[in-house]
Structures are given as C-alpha cells and as structure tokens.
C-alpha cells in the first residue's frame, strides 16, 4: 500500500499514520489501535480524526475497473475485506453511477407523466354519449365514484387509499369491476397517480403496466354533464331502471356473485383465525351457491363458523391430521345446511365483522336503490329476487 500524506502535517501525525498502517510479512497489522492510543495518549476519536485528516491509503494491487485509479482504503476493516480482491469500484465512480441512475429515473418519470397527461387529455377531449352506458356500466361507475371521488370532484382516488373500505366483497371481484370500466374506456389513469402504482418500462410494447387498485382515475365527459350532475343522473337512472326486465339477469348475477364472495371472504377469515389449512375450490363455490338460495350470508356465517370449529375439534382430539380436518370443513357446512333445511331450523342471523365491511357495490344496490339495508348480507337470493 502507498500512504499519501496531507500537506502541513506534523512529524508526530505522520508517525501515527505510518504505525497505524504498518504491516508485517503476512500482511497483518503490527500495532493495534489500543496500543497506539496508549503510546500517543489519545483516544479512539482523536486517532480516527488524525488518520482521516492526515493521509490517504492507496492499494498497490487493487484498482477501479472503470477509471483504473488505485483503490483507496477507508479503514483497516476495508483493507481486510478487499485484500483478496483485484478489482473494486472506487467511491467516485459509484457516486457517478448513482447520479446517472437518478437522472435516468427522473427522465423516465417525466416521460411517464407526459404520456399519462397526453392520454388523459385525449380521454377527456372525447365527449361520450350517456345513453350508450349499460345498466352494469352505471352500477359499476356509481359504486367506484361513491367510494373514491375526491373532495373537489376532479378525480377518483385509488381503491387502496380508502382504508377499511371495500369496493366489492373481494379483491378479485374489485379487479374485475375496474377492468370492465377501464377496457370500456369509462375510466382513465390520472397523471397524478403515485409512481409506485405504475411500473414504467420505456421499451415495453404497451409502455407500462399498473396496479388497478393503486392508481387514481379520471372519468370521461358525458354530454357536457358536470361531475355532480353526472352522479345525480346515474343515481336517478339506476333507480328508474332497476325494475326493467332486461336488467334482472345482470342484477341477479351481481346478487349471486356478491353473496358468494362474502361467504368465501368469511371462510378465509375463519380459516386464518383457527390456523387451519384449507384452500377454497370449485366444490366450495358450488356448495355456497346452493346454500345461498335459501339462506342469507348472515346465516351462512353460522354454518361456516360451526364447520371450522368442528374441524378444529377433530384435529385437537387427534382424530384427523390438520390437513385432513381442514378438508372436512366444506362437507360439514353442506351437511349442516341440509339438516337445517330438512328439520326447519331457525338459523339466527349473525352480524358483520369489522374486518369485512359492507362493500360500496352493495351499498349502491341495496341501500341506495332497493332501500334494503345491507340486503345482500341479510337476505337470501330467493328473497332478493322477490324484492327486485
């Protein structure tokens, strides 16, 4: 190694630096820091400051692969960690590389923002015909607007920004709703979406990918309607068209899907609560769809809880392994519901849990339009058909 001394240092300071970096034949340091402190009657802080101010230590064998300058050891630990290395990037080159990456990231951020601004301008410049909206379009739009509209009505905030709130009963259903609106050009990504919500790739075919539930949205112009007028018109038209025969199938499909997702979400919650090992599949969906014709979600909660508790009991007794016991859950739920129907049990309705609140899709359909408070939770599918 080569010691490069700073100008105007004293002979004593030079001596301290030389002894600190002095090596034996095996490249081990001869003097410990403790010995040097005792010899020169200084403390560790004073020793470190003297070394930092008075000398640089260049390697004889290690150089930066980028600029070819000799490597500068920061301290003894750095020397030990790099002595078997032939090439190590110097700090200046590392800093330059970091700066280049930051500049490139900034360039991509500007390009991403400009792309989104251009897309938003194009989206807003096209005036859409309100009459082209389907019943499902209106339901989905109103649900998203009710949940995510900003205070100034200028944009829709991200779904994930609404803590402890749900757009639909499940993440998959919410993704389907957002995809439906996005692919039908009824919402567009806001340029003010956070950079974490968009994965920009300059050379990608589509330019970027994004997280449906993390981006902000803007809604289009419909026949020159202001946002508040558009929302009022949506509410009024959905209420007026709820009894149209042509909308019954779409409405029933939402009833059925929402109830199913409510049950699947509660089953997942109870499985995690009881630390069971079960993954819902097609059989589970079939059983729930069958039960939900005659029982409300609030009543199916009882069957789910009882099925899970029975599985825990069987596992605790050693009757079954945890996996085997977990696999009995859906069969137990099905048998309980069949017995309840056969013997005409009076199944008490359970309350919602705070972890699974009523979704905005449910609020729009049942509370706002049908005037049935949380009807998707409190009534069976057969009862809901009669109401609608």
The pLDDT tens digits of the residues spanning 61-71 come to 888 888 888 88
CA–CA separation, 231 vs 227, rounded Å?
6
305-334: average pLDDT: 88
The closest of 134, 128, 113 to 216, measured between CA atoms, is 113
176-198: average pLDDT: 94
Residue 312: pLDDT above 80?
A: yes
Residue 133, classed as helix, strand or coil, is: coil
- Copy the structure tokens of residue 260: 């199913």
Rg of the chain, C-alpha, whole Å = 34
**Could you tell me how many residues make up the chain?**
388
Residue 223's pLDDT is: 86
Residue 81: pLDDT above 70?
A: yes
* Residue 90: band (very low, low, confident or very high) from pLDDT cuts 50, 70, 90: confident
24-52: average pLDDT: 91
- Copy the structure tokens of residue 54: 């008075």
Residue 373, classed as helix, strand or coil, is: coil
Residue 176's pLDDT is: 96
Q: What is the pTM of this model?
A: 0.76
- Answer whether 259's CB lies under 8 Å from 299's CB: no
Apex CA 122: angle with CA 121 and CA 125, to 5°? 80
- Answer whether 158's CB lies under 8 Å from 212's CB: no
Residue 87's pLDDT is: 61
153-179: average pLDDT: 95
The residue to which tokens 């944009």 are assigned: 155
359-363: average pLDDT: 97
- Answer whether 370's CB lies under 8 Å from 235's CB: no
Residue 205: pLDDT above 80?
A: no
CA–CA separation, 150 vs 190, rounded Å?
12
* Residue 73: band (very low, low, confident or very high) from pLDDT cuts 50, 70, 90: confident
* Residue 204: band (very low, low, confident or very high) from pLDDT cuts 50, 70, 90: low
CA–CA separation, 225 vs 330, rounded Å?
50
Residue 346's pLDDT is: 94
In this predicted model, which residue has the larger pLDDT, 270 or 64?
A: 270
Residue 352's pLDDT is: 96
Residue 278: pLDDT above 80?
A: yes
CA 267 to chain centre: 22
Residue 93: pLDDT above 60?
A: yes
Residue 80's pLDDT is: 83
Give counts: helices (H), strands (E), the chain. Answer: 16, 9
CA–CA separation, 298 vs 73, rounded Å?
69
CA–CA separation, 8 vs 368, rounded Å?
83
* H or E segment to which residue 360 belongs: helix 360-362
Quote the percentage of the chain above a pLDDT of 90.
Answer: 61
């Amino acid at each position: 190694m080569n010691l490069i001394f700073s100008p105007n240092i004293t002979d004593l300071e030079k001596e301290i630096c030389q002894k600190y970096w002095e090596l034996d034949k095996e490249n081990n340091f001869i003097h410990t820091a403790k010995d040097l402190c005792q010899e020169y009657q200084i403390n560790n802080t004073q020793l470190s400051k003297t070394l930092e101010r008075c000398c640089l230590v260049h390697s004889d064998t290690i150089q930066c692969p980028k600029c070819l300058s000799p490597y500068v050891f920061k301290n003894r630990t750095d020397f030990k960690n790099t002595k078997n290395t032939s090439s190590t990037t110097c700090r200046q080159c590392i800093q330059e590389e970091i700066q280049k990456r930051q500049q490139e990231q900034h360039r991509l951020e500007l390009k991403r923002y400009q792309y989104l601004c251009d897309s938003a301008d194009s989206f807003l410049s096209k005036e859409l015909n309100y009459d082209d909206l389907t019943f499902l379009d209106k339901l989905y739009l109103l649900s998203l607007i009710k949940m995510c509209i900003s205070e100034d009505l200028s944009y829709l905030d991200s779904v994930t920004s609404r803590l402890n709130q749900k757009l639909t009963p499940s993440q998959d259903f919410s993704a389907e709703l957002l995809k439906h609106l996005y692919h039908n050009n009824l919402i567009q990504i806001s340029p003010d979406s956070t950079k974490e919500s968009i994965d920009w790739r300059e050379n990608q075919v589509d330019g970027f990918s994004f997280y449906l539930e993390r981006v902000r949205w803007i809604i289009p112009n419909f026949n020159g309607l202001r946002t508040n007028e558009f929302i009022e018109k949506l509410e009024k038209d959905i209420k007026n068209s709820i009894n149209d025969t042509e909308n019954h199938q779409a409405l029933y499909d939402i009833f059925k899907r929402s109830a199913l997702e409510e049950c699947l979400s509660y089953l997942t919650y109870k499985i995690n609560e009881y630390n069971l090992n079960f993954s819902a599949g097609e059989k589970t969906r079939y059983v729930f769809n069958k039960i939900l014709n005659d029982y409300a979600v609030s009543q199916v909660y009882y069957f789910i809880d009882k099925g899970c508790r029975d599985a825990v009991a069987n596992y605790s007794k050693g009757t079954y392994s945890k996996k085997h016991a977990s696999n009995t859950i859906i069969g137990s739920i099905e048998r309980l519901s069949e017995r309840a129907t056969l013997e005409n049990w009076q199944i008490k309705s359970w309350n919602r849990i705070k972890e699974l609140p009523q979704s905005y899709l449910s609020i729009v359909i049942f509370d706002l339009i049908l005037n049935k408070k949380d009807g998707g939770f409190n009534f069976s599918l057969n009862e809901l058909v009669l109401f609608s």
